[in-house]
Amino acid sequence: MHDDDDSPRPASIRRRPLLVLAALLTVSAAAGALVWGVARGPDTGAPADGRGPDSTAVPPSRTPSPAVSPDGSKPLAGRTVLVDPGHNPGNFRHTAEINRQVDAGTHRKECDTTGTATEAGYTEAAFTLDVAHRLRDLLTAQGAKVVFTHDADRPFGPCVDERARIGNEARADAAISVHADGSGRGNRGYHVILPAKVAEGSADTSAIAAPSRALGERVAAGFRAATGTEPSNYVGGGTGLDVRADLGGLNLSTVPKVFVECGNMRDPQDAALLTDPAWRQKAARGMADGIRTYLLR
């Protein structure tokens, strides 16, 4: 689930205000069970097993990618890629801060959200950070300079406007925001969100809309080839692509940028993939392949 998504989705579970969510979580904790199903997306950090909202521990360990490309080449030398792990493990403990309104280009909205989680409690924040690390390894192996928006090294956030600004200031050749969706059961598959052409308020995507589409198309193709999963059956009309004008992380970007919703954490079949380290490596590989083909086009 993207951190600045406040629009409805077909058959999806809508996110409730974060303060209401915090109250739900408090009641749930008192009962000894975490309640995730009623909101479109609470989530925070996970302990070592990747479960639960009350720990700032990093996701489960992963097998490191090689330090260099298999053939020893560095095709992405001199290129900069912004990798944005959606949400922050600490957001759950900072509801006041992440409820603060910030500029989203065409409107104002909350700084960030907590994200979503599987029914078993594996959080989106844990998922996105793990995939982001894998993606960084793969891109670095090909010579790219990788800039993170955060690495669970801050209490909460960054806010959606700062996430965009980090990529802009890095003058990234490509930017990718890693997420997982929080839709209803039966809604499955990945989709890549592209910025619409907007010129309103502080948003002007006229220069990045076309290159972002080119980036998104290649990332979607790479993701499908690497993971073997199908495009979303509930967003994008089967194309795996979704164009949006309401996301601050895209509206405020001055570099080519896309969001990737890797699957639906609320569907048991997708959740089984998202919680599998081997599949997460494939997901990272697909994104890296898409970014590489875009940068070398």
In a domain, residue 272? The reply is: yes
Look at residue 8 and tell me if it is in a domain.
no
* Cα–Cα nearest to 159, from 110, 230, 221: 110
Task: Please enumerate in sequence order all residues whose Cβ is within 8 A of that of 33, keeping only pairs 6 or more positions apart, or say none.
Answer: none
Q: Kindly report, residue by residue over 181-218, the tens digit of the pLDDT.
A: 999 999 999 999 999 999 999 999 999 999 999 999 99
How many Å apart are CA 43 and CA 111, to the nearest integer? 15
3-state secondary structure of 180: strand
- The enclosing H or E element of 178 equals strand 174-181
User: Residue 119 falls within a domain, yes or no?
Assistant: yes
Catalytic-role residue among 124, 162, 217, 261:
261
Q: Write the CATH number for 105.
A: 3.40.630.40
Q: How far apart are CA 56 and CA 19, in angstroms?
A: 20
pLDDT band for position 69 (50/70/90)? low
* Angle, CA of 156, 216 and 206, to the nearest 5°: 85
Domain tally, the chain? 1
pLDDT tens profile 2-44 = 655 433 344 443 333 333 334 433 333 333 333 333 333 333 3
Q: Report the DSSP beta bridge partners of residue 123.
A: 117
CA end-to-end span of the chain: 29
Q: Give all strands of the β-sheet with 80-85 in edge-to-edge order.
A: 145-148, 80-85, 174-181, 257-264, 191-195, 241-244
Would you say residue 236 lies in a domain?
Answer: yes
| pLDDT band, residue 72 (cuts 50/70/90) | confident
Q: How many whole angstroms separate alpha carbon 249 and alpha carbon 258?
A: 9
Give CA–CA dist 59/125, Å, rounded: 9
Residue 183 gets which letter from DSSP?
Answer: B
Domain that holds residue 41: 18-295
261 is catalytic: yes
Question: Which 3 state secondary structure label does DSSP give 148?
Answer: strand
